[in-house]
A and B are shown apart, each in its own frame.
Chain A
Amino acid sequence: MPRKSVLSRPLPTADRAAGVGDGNRHRLRWSLGTRTFLLRAIVPVAVLASWQLYSVVLSPSLFTPPPIEVFTALLRLPFEPGFLEAAGGTLLALAYGFGLAVLLGIPAGLIAGRVRLLGAIAGGYVALLLTIPMASLVPVIIVLFGIGLEARVAVVFAFALPLLVGDVMAGASSVPRGLLEMGRSFGCGRWQLGRRVIFPAALPEIFAGLRLSAARAVIGMVVAELIVISSGLGGMVTVFLARYQMDKAYAITFVFLIISGLLVGFVQYLESRFLKWRSSEEGAVHAAM
């Protein structure tokens, strides 16, 4: 009696593959998004759990408050006297510094990306400024600007600008030549070409630059806060440390994280709104072929 061959087995239907029907009825089928989220959440949860374990059980000490205490301190922070003022000052420095970097960096990058001589000069500076640790320039900035808001704005600006200019330049210089020719053939002058062809074509790179330099701006803000400790959130950290209120000091760290998340998240939101055409490209080109 010949054994049943592979070919005679019933073909798996879509139902069976999905685990629906027969014995799989009671197995939960989470979507890919849910599963990804859960897997990603494992690391932070593990970190928090081990932190909790360490600070409560293994090595309780004044200097390692457990995450639960830090979290409650974080929630109570807005009511801490002086917090809102300090946070406002810090955020102002971030807004001015990053805003200035964007207002100057995008036009400068666009021009440098199109004018070869300027691009060569700027490119050198950008490369240099990206390799040195920007934090090492902070003392110089303090000498130049003092220790007030101007200094903090300057630090944020210095952190954010080089990367942004570099990315904008890359975007502006890589506009497909065919598009530029097309623009010229339909009568675009220099300014029209820049506005109608170069800028939109460079936008994906510009947004990439904005995302990354937003993150760098926040780093700059934190560095400025921790070094220029006279005011702002950095000042509060010092006060909390002096009072041995570790949970509150740690909570400020989380405030920095939240600020970073919000800013970068905002840029990403703008990106998804203005670059809708990118996602429609990838999937549908193959469908239309």
Chain B
Amino acid sequence: MIEVVDVSKVYGPTPEEQVVALQGVSLSIKQGEFVSLIGASGCGKTTLLKILDGLIRPSQGRVEIDGNLVTGPGPDRAVVFQDFALMPWANVIENVAFGLSVRGVPKRERMDISAEHIAQVGLVGFETKNPGQLSGGMQQRVGLARALAVKPQILLMDEPFGSLDAQTRHLMQEDLLGMLEEENLTVVFVTHDMDEAVYLSDRVAIMSPRPGRVVEVLDVDLPESGSAEGRRSPEFLELTNYIWEKLRDAVRQQEEMSA
């Protein structure tokens, strides 16, 4: 469904100052798949996600969705942001209805659809609250409801649970899987947490920085996750350890660079 063909992204005015955020990335994502992009900071995973959404144009290469070239954001894709990106001046239901409103959906319809998705993410009763009155986990649920409300085919999630504490994060991961059972979405999920990647995904694309590229794509062949025990099974640990081995050197290098 999604074809990433030899995508490169370079920043910088002159060759000396250039940063190669992505180099020669190719990836195929099937319909209905849950694919994680994992890697140390600077590996280009967020850049790749933005290119998939059409927010950034690649310097080279292209992205095709069902054969159509991606040139900008579109109704088939929706993003969930790490910092929630909610409008503080609007309440929950207005935030959820945002994408629909931009598209010109009439008010009655937008409010009905939004109410549905607010219930789906478990925020009934909070429709008239402002984001400032909600906890981090609740705010991200609003972000999720907003993305689901526009009925995308592809959900692009940029470290959505990165700002949440570990307990809330676990809960959100379980809830996300639960929600996705009902939908037929293709999900591209950026994270730096191996546990999260293995828990949620069908496949994990391990990325490496300088230059940003995909090093390996793992198949996650675990029995249907959704239980706490699933996170501790030998197969789970094997996978997460393998990913960590691949990432460790890159992460250490990043540490040393920023020290």
Contact = CB atoms under 8 A, between A and B. Distances in A.
Interface in A181-222: 181-188, 192, 196-197, 200-201, 203
A289 interface: yes
A196 B102 contact: yes
Contacts of B132: 277, 280-282, 284-285
A37 B63 CA distance: 65
B165 to A, nearest CB: 10
B227 to A, nearest CB: 29
B75 interface: yes
Contact of A178 (B81, B101, B103): B81
A178 B83 contact: yes
A281 to B, nearest CB: 3
Sorting the interface of chain B by its residue count into under 10, 10 to 19, 20 to 34 or 35 or more gives 20 to 34
Nearest to A204: B89
Given A185-B53, A188-B102, A288 B75 contact: no
A186 B78 contact: yes
Contacts of B102: 183, 186-188, 192, 196
Given A203-B89, A280-B130, A285-B132, A185 B79 contact: yes
Interface in A240-289: 275, 277, 280-282, 284-285, 287-289
Contacts of A188: 102
Given A184-B73, A187-B102, A289 B81 contact: no
B87 interface: yes
Given A185-B78, A284-B130, 16 more contacts: A178-B83, A181-B55, A181-B85, A183-B102, A185-B55, A187-B102, A187-B103, A192-B102, A196-B98, A200-B87, A277-B130, A280-B132, A282-B132, A284-B133, A287-B133, A288-B134
Contacts of B130: 277, 280-281, 284
Contacts of B103: 187
Interface string B67-89: 00000011101110101010111
Contact of A186 (B90, B134, B150): B150
B86 to A, nearest CB: 8
Given A280-B133, A284-B132, A178 B85 contact: yes
B133 A185 contact: no
B73 A281 contact: no
A49 interface: no
A275 B89 CA distance: 8
Given A197-B87, A285-B133, A288-B138, A182 B78 contact: no
Interface of B: 50, 53, 55, 73-75, 77-79, 81, 83, 85, 87-90, 98-99, 101-103, 130, 132-135, 138, 146, 150
Nearest to B136: A289
Interface string A53-73: 000000000000000000000
B83 A184 contact: no
A284 B130 CA distance: 10
29 contacts: A179-B87, A181-B50, A181-B55, A181-B81, A182-B81, A183-B102, A185-B53, A186-B73, A186-B98, A186-B150, A187-B73, A187-B74, A187-B99, A187-B103, A188-B102, A196-B102, A197-B87, A200-B89, A277-B89, A277-B132, A280-B130, A280-B133, A281-B132, A281-B133, A285-B132, A285-B133, A288-B133, A288-B134, A289-B135
B169 to A, nearest CB: 16
B89 A182 contact: no
Contacts of A186: 73, 78, 98-99, 102, 146, 150
